[in-house]
């Protein structure tokens, strides 16, 4: 009986330890066990984050102007930030967010939260391999993107390889200052109506 109890305790300890390690990404999985980040380090995670952002903004037509903002690292994760410099009017924010949400759903991202706030709308999602991604509007209607990795191997992280498609700013990035005939228009997008 003692042998069975000891074996049961050992099995339970192994199961608990495995669950904790998997939750931290140390076993190469994500928190929910989907996808795999085995062998990925922070640099690889940063490049994956960049790719997720570039794919997302590549779906936004007409093109928006954006700049890299910053990169932060935690004990085992990395986050990249981007700032949209195109003025997206209050009337066009729903269209903007709709394009992003449709692309994320088509990419099998799980939509975790949609905040339809008139002033500060936000969408937060998770990719199949456990990367968190969000788009949000802030002060003066400026849009921001953020991608955070799951736990990966510690490493140095270089800046993004691709240059921003917007102008370069010294010091603080200003509020949106690039006008777009479509995104900055202060009218709603007309519903397509069939011609008679």
Q: Which two tokens stand for residue 186?
A: 């202060």
Looking at residue 117, what DSSP letter applies?
-
pLDDT at 192: 56
Q: How far apart are CA 53 and CA 68, in angstroms?
A: 11
Tell me: pLDDT of 151 over 90: yes
pLDDT at 58: 97
Residue 126, in any domain of the structure = yes
Looking at residue 166, what DSSP letter applies?
S
Q: How far apart are CA 178 and CA 8, in angstroms?
A: 64
For 56-82, letters b (16+ CB in 10 Å) and e give bbeebeeebbbbbeebebeebbbbbbb
* Percent of the chain topping pLDDT 70: 79
Residue 15, in any domain of the structure = no
Residue 155, in any domain of the structure = no
Residue 84, in any domain of the structure = yes
Tell me: pLDDT of 195 over 70: no
* Percent of the chain topping pLDDT 90: 70
Domain span holding position 72: 42-148
Query: Where do the H-state alpha helices sit in 86-188?
Result: 93-106
pLDDT at 110: 98
pLDDT at 168: 85
Give pLDDT tens digits for 40-86.
Answer: 999 999 999 999 999 999 999 999 999 999 999 999 999 999 999 99
Report the mean per-residue pLDDT for the chain: 83
Residue 67, in any domain of the structure = yes
pLDDT at 189: 83
Rounded to an integer, the average pLDDT of 143-149 is 98
Tell me: pLDDT of 190 over 80: no
The answer to whether the beta carbons of residues 52 and 147 sit under 8 Å apart is yes
Please tell me the total count of domains within the chain: 1
Q: How far apart are CA 106 and CA 128, in angstroms?
A: 12
pLDDT at 191: 65
Residue 194, in any domain of the structure = no
Residue 159, in any domain of the structure = no
Residue 3 to residues 8, 10, 16, 17, 135, Cα–Cα distance (Å): 9, 10, 20, 21, 55
Residue 13, in any domain of the structure = no
């Amino acid at each position: 009986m003692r042998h069975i109890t000891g074996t049961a305790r050992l099995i339970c300890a192994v199961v608990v330890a495995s669950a904790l390690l998997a939750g931290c990404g140390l076993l190469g999985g994500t928190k929910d066990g989907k996808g795999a980040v085995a062998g990925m380090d922070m640099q690889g995670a940063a490049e994956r984050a960049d790719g997720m952002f570039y794919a997302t903004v590549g779906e936004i037509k007409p093109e928006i102007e954006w700049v890299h903002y910053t990169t932060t690292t935690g004990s085992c994760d990395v986050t990249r930030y981007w700032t949209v410099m195109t003025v997206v009017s209050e009337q066009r924010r729903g269209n903007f967010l709709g394009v992003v949400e449709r692309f994320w759903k088509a990419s099998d991202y799980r939509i975790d939260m949609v905040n339809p706030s008139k002033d500060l709308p936000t969408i937060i999602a998770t990719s199949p391999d456990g990367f968190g991604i969000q788009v949000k509007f802030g002060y003066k209607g400026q849009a921001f993107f953020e991608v955070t990795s799951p736990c990966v191997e510690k490493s140095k992280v270089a800046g993004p390889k691709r240059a921003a498609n917007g102008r370069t700013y010294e010091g603080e990035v200003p509020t949106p200052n690039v006008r777009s005939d479509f995104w900055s228009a202060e009218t709603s997008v007309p519903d397509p109506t069939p011609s008679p």
